[in-house]
Amino acid sequence: MNGMLAIRYETPQSVGEAVRLMAADPDARVLAGGTDLLVQFRAGVRQPSAFVDVKRIPELMSITIDGQGLRLGAATAAAVIGEHVELRTLWPGLVEAVQLIGSTQIQGRGSVGGNLCNASPAADTTCALIVNRADCVIAGPGGERTVPVEEFCIAPGRTVLQRGELLIALRLPRPAARTSDAYLRLIPRSEMDIAVVGAAVSVTLDANGVCRSARVAIGAVAPTALLVPEAAKALVGSSLDAASLKRAAEAASTAARPIGDKRGTAGYRRTVAGVLTRRAAAIAAGRARRK
Amino acid sequence: MTVTKLHIETTINGEPREFLCDSHETLLSALRNGLGLTGTKEGCATGDCGACSILLDGRLVPACLVLAPEAQGRAVTTIEGLSSGDALHPLQQKFLEHAALQCGVCTPGFIVAAKALLDAKPNPSEDETRYWLAGNLCRCTGYDKIIRAVLDAASEMKESAI
């Protein structure tokens, strides 16, 4: 250990204390579940000067649902989210995205805030948050600010967080009547893999089953997850029949600008982005009709 | 610069325990090297294999992705905490009866993960069991014997609970 600088381990008890720690030291890193950070640390990719463990801050570990909607503490473990019955009922697509991440063990640690802050273009929760109009609540030396989730990640591994800032919660408006969501991803096996393509859709129907508003987001097909207004436009005003779903699929494929790699060629990803959009829209529509 | 050790007070398998650790040391390392609890195994050290599965405040987690100082004031359950004296936990007994292990490195992780499953869901289906244990890798058994052992333990525990 000769010459090695001690890495500090900090356990702030409040958001204010966490902000002060982060602002005082640009090399400090927020530790939530550690499922990305500790792997990167071990691999030598990141060498933080301090781990700021935010899991003792109640606001980062809580789930509140009221008339306004959901406030999801950024460090709440995926397993806790999966066990929350009301959350599952109101946002089934978000919860299915959360539950796709890793194994049972990883679910016991990993959080939605961490998934977002890791800023992988293939992160499963990002698309589901985007279609649900989530806002990121960010605390910093100047107080709190909110950023729409589709603007939070700016490049692979990079977010809008500035020095001294940390993500403390996600806020989702309560879904309107006959609204539901769905998330699908393609992986080459049945469990435990990273999305080759992901797609989330949220739809709101009127009493006659006509789609009144929609949101479509696709992941792993660009440097960040993409909100695709053209695909949503193809759904609005329709009864979500096969023809409109096909138009939404085409719009999603057109919006995708994927790379080709060992996990899938660019052309394959573009095609699958459309297929998953169509299927997720159909699932979201089915769920909305039952509400 | 001196590297100072952190002093951690925690509960392990129901007993209050104290240990010294580095701030960036994993709980897996503290359990094995600091506390001599070598039942919890290191496989991949990146959260992919499940060999280091433990319960932290009752929640199934990979000990390789938990920092040792995080255990301060928490309750940790390891494989050593499952038997009562010489009496094996039903899962341990069923793993023996079904020959659900060969080299044994993955076994503690499987048994701890299976305990978490049965704590949450005493009567799991085969599908639920396979999905729950998807994060535990075994290179010897082909998994079937493990699944059979877990399901058999579940039904036996249910009977003895009646």
Confidence label for B162 from pLDDT (cuts 50, 70 and 90) = low
CATH number at residue A207: 3.30.390.50
CA–CA dist A205, A285 (Å, integer): 8
Within 13 Å, how many C-alpha atoms sit on residue A95's CB side?
17
Do A154 and A126 belong to one domain?
A: yes
Domain C-terminal end among A153, A173, A193: A173
CATH number at residue A44: 3.30.43.10
Q: How far is CA A64 from the centre of its chain?
A: 18
Q: Does A55 touch chain B (CB under 8 A)?
A: yes
Residue pair A14/A35 in contact by the 8 Å Cβ criterion: no
Distance from C-alpha of A257 to C-alpha of A232, rounded to nearest angstrom: 18
Mean pLDDT of A119-145: 97
Q: Which residues contact B78 (CB under 8 A, 6 or more apart)?
A: B12, B13, B31, B37, B39, B40, B54, B108, B112
Q: Coil, helix or strand for A188?
A: coil
The reply to whether A183 and A253 lie within a common domain is: yes
**Same domain as A71, residue A51:** no
Q: How far apart are CA B16 and CA A94, in angstroms?
A: 39
| In a domain? residue A99 | yes
Q: How far is CA B155 from the centre of its chain?
A: 21
CA closest to A37 among chain B residues: B65
A3 lies in some domain: no
Whether A188 and A87 map to the same domain: the answer is no
Q: Cβ distance A9 to A50 under 8 Å?
A: yes
SS3 breakdown of chain A: % helix, strand, coil, rounded to 5? 35, 25, 35
Closest CA to B47 of A55, A133, A43: A43
- Chain B contacts in chain A segment 194-253 (CB below 8 A): none
Average pLDDT over residues A24-36: 97
Instruction: Give contacts of B132 with chain A, Cβ < 8 Å.
Output: 104
In this prediction, residue B159 carries a pLDDT of: 86
Distance CA A200, CA A205 (A): 17
Residue range(s) in chain B whose domain bears CATH number 1.10.150.120: 90-161
Residue type, B63: A
pLDDT digits (tens, 9 = 90+) for B61-90: 999 999 999 999 999 999 999 999 899 999
Residues A277 and A259 in one domain: yes
| ipTM score | 0.95
Q: Is the pLDDT of residue A3 over 50?
A: no
A106·B50 Cβ contact <8 A: no
A47 and A69 in a single domain? The answer is no
Cross-chain Cβ contact B24/A51 below 8 Å: yes
Q: Which residue from B70, B72, B135 is facing A104, i.e. has the nearest CB?
A: B135
Query: In this model, does residue A275 exceed pLDDT 90?
Result: yes
Is residue A2 in a domain? no
Q: Which two tokens stand for residue A20?
A: 């002060």
CA nearest A79 in B: which residue? B59
> Please, what is the average pLDDT of chain A?
96
Q: Which position has the higher pLDDT, A129 or B159?
A: A129
Supply the pLDDT for residue B2.
Answer: 57
Query: CB A9 to CB B69 under 8 A?
Result: yes
Instruction: Return the SS3 of A158.
Output: strand
- Please give the angle made by the CA atoms of A173, A179 and A182, to the nearest 5 degrees: 95
Contact B1 A103 (CB under 8 A): no
What CATH number matches the domain at B6-81, 1.10.10.10, 3.30.930.10, 3.10.20.30, 3.40.1050.10? 3.10.20.30
Of A152, A173, A194, which residue is a domain's last?
A173
CATH code of the region B90-161: 1.10.150.120
The residue type of A246 is K
Q: How far is CA A172 from CA A134, A243, B40, in A?
A: 5, 30, 40
CATH at A155: 3.30.465.10
- Asked whether residue B51 carries a pLDDT value surpassing 60, the answer given is yes
pLDDT at A1 over 50: no
pTM listed for this prediction = 0.95
**CATH 3.10.20.30 in chain B, residues?**
6-81
Instruction: Report how many domains make up chain A.
Output: 3
Q: Which residue has the higher pLDDT, B101 or A191?
A: B101
Closest in A6, A11, A106 to B3, CB measured: A6
Q: Which residues of A touch B65 (CB under 8 A)?
A: 33-35, 38-39, 106, 109
Q: Which residues of A touch B46 (CB under 8 A)?
A: 39, 42-43
Per-residue confidence (pLDDT) for residue A34, from 0 to 100: 97
pLDDT of residue A121: 96
Contact A104 B132 (CB under 8 A): yes
The pLDDT score that the predictor gives to residue B3 is 62
Q: Does A74 lie in the same domain as A126?
A: yes
- Note whether A51 and A64 are same-domain residues: no
Question: 């059979």: which residue's tokens?
Answer: B148
User: Of B3 and A102, which is predicted with more confidence?
Assistant: A102
Strand segments (E) across chain A: 8-10, 28-31, 50-53, 63-65, 69-73, 135-140, 143-148, 153-155, 158-159, 166-173, 179-186, 197-205, 211-219, 226-227
- The DSSP line for A198-232 is EEEEEEEE-TTS-EEEEEEEEESSSSS-EE-HHHH
Q: What is the mean pLDDT of residues A203-230?
A: 98
Query: Does a structural domain hold residue A73?
Result: yes
Range of the domain at A160: 58-173
The secondary structure of chain B as a DSSP string is: ---PPEEEEEEETTEEEEEEE-TT-BHHHIIIIIS--TTSPPSSSSSSS-TTEEEETTEEEEGGGSBGGGGTT-EEE-GGGTSBTTBPPHHHHHHHHTT--SS-SSHHHHHHHHHHHHHH-SS--HHHHHHHGGG---SSS-SHHHHHHHHHHHHHHHHHH-
Mean pLDDT of chain B: 96
Say whether both A46 and A91 belong to one domain.
no
Collapsing DSSP states into helix, strand and coil, what is residue A278? Answer: helix
- Of B1, B53, B132, which has the smallest distance from its Cβ to A6's Cβ? B1
What is the DSSP-derived secondary structure letter of residue A265? -
Residue A254 belongs to a domain = yes
- What is the β-pairing status of strands A8-10 and A50-53? parallel
Q: Residue A34: list chain B partners with CB under 8 A.
A: 65-67
